[in-house]
Amino acid sequence: MDILLLLENSQSLLLIATFVFSLLVGSFLNVVIYRFPKSMQYDWTHDSATHLIETYDELKQPLEKFTKLDKPPSIIWARSNCQNCKHQIKAWENIPVLGFIFLRGKCSNCKTKISHRYWMIELLTAVLSTAVVYNFGWSLTSVCGVVLTYFLISIAMIDYDTMVIPDQFSLTLMWIGLFISLWTVFVDPSSSIKGALLGYLLLWSVFHLFKLITGKDGMGYGDFKLLAAGGAWLGMKSVAIIVILSSLSGAILGSIILLIKKSNKPIPFGPYLAVGIWVAMMYGQKIVDWYLGFSGLS
């Protein structure tokens, strides 16, 4: 209790504690981002092969190998190891950001280069979470905002890697948003429910209109659910802001990524929706006030 009282009365200590704790969470998010899609792929492959074998006897022999695949390591319990030589990473090597520096960006055993993305996600998690606490102070809003930040980083990176937004993330996020509205953390229950409905139906309508005109899928159903989650957290009035911010970030960041990678690979919309939701949470009302003042509508 003394520690909590100290953090409540000292903004500097609160921000430092948030930064350090979120660095550790960022390290865990790296594990989630890497292992969760592999776990999903294993479940899909195993379940599909089992179903086909049980339905069609003639498929038993060619598909039996897929029911005996090695299960991916547990997200929580399995120790981290080098993806190349399987060297088990020691505790000091796994210190967020500093571990990468100590190892000079290479595995201590086989000297394979470690992706810069690991320390960047750790640092990004810490910086964004600290910004949330700085903005909202010692409050329930800060706690919820930090949780939202963790979810959005995980969703954005998984979608970027796999073009899939897992329902386990987007729907959980939506239900949390609806739940915390009972205490009017960001919005009241009525605004939360309306926001979730509008968020889903808006992109659902755009998807089907685009498909009707072009005959192609313009986005995935995961995007509908993620915007519904954003609406549940921030309310109906924020949905338009999220879409505008997502489109702007998509145009800017998407162009930069295409220039750097020089690739025609499709870029998922989920990461940009995540950016839009986070910015709307932090500065949504300020953006609306600025626009009303700038346009002379206030």
Burial class from Cβ neighbours inside 10 Å (0-12, 13-18, 19+) for residue 239 reads: buried
- What is the DSSP secondary structure assignment for residue 216, as one 8-state letter? S
Cα–Cα distance for residue pair 177/247, rounded to 1 Å = 23
Query: If pLDDT is split at 50, 70 and 90, which confidence band does 64 have?
Result: confident
Domain assignment of residue 111, yes or no: no
- Region 207-216: mean pLDDT is 85
Considering its fold, how many domains does the chain have in total?
2
Side chain identity at residue 234, one-letter code: L
In whole angstroms, what is the distance from residue 94 CA to residue 188 CA?
41
Residue 195 lies inside a defined structural domain of this protein: yes
Asked whether residue 169 falls in the same domain as residue 42, the answer is no
DSSP type of residue 88: B
Per DSSP, helices labelled H in 112-220 are 117-136, 140-162, 167-180, 189-214
Do 274 and 217 share a structural domain? Answer: yes
Residues 83, 151, single domain; the answer is no
End residue of a domain, out of 102, 126, 153 = 102
Shared domain for 98 and 148, answered yes or no, is no
118 falls within a domain: no
Q: Is the predicted pLDDT of residue 263 greater than 70, yes or no? A: no
Is the pLDDT at 294 greater than 80? The verdict is no
Q: What angle do CA 175, 180, 279 make, to 5 degrees?
A: 85
112 phi-psi bin (left φ>0, alpha ψ -120 to 50, beta other): beta
Regarding whether 253 and 203 lie in a shared domain, the answer is yes
| From 92-106, 128-142, 247-261, the region with the lowest mean pLDDT | 247-261
Residue 280 has a pLDDT of: 96
Do 182 and 55 have their domain in common?
no
Q: Is residue 170 a part of any domain in this protein?
A: yes
Q: Are residues 97 and 170 located together in one domain of the fold?
A: no
34 found inside a domain? yes
CA distance 131 to 142: 10
Task: Dihedral sign for Cα 280, 285, 291, 292, please.
Answer: positive
Which amino acid would we find at residue 16?
A: I
Whether residue 176 sits in one domain with residue 96: no
Last residue of a domain, one of 75, 102, 129: 102
Indicate whether 248 and 196 sit together in one domain: yes
Arithmetic mean of pLDDT, 70-85: 83
User: In this structure, are 143 and 277 located in the same domain?
Assistant: yes
Residue 190's CB is within 10 A of a number of other CB atoms, namely 11
Matching residue, tokens 């390591």: 73
Domain interval for residue 237: 139-295
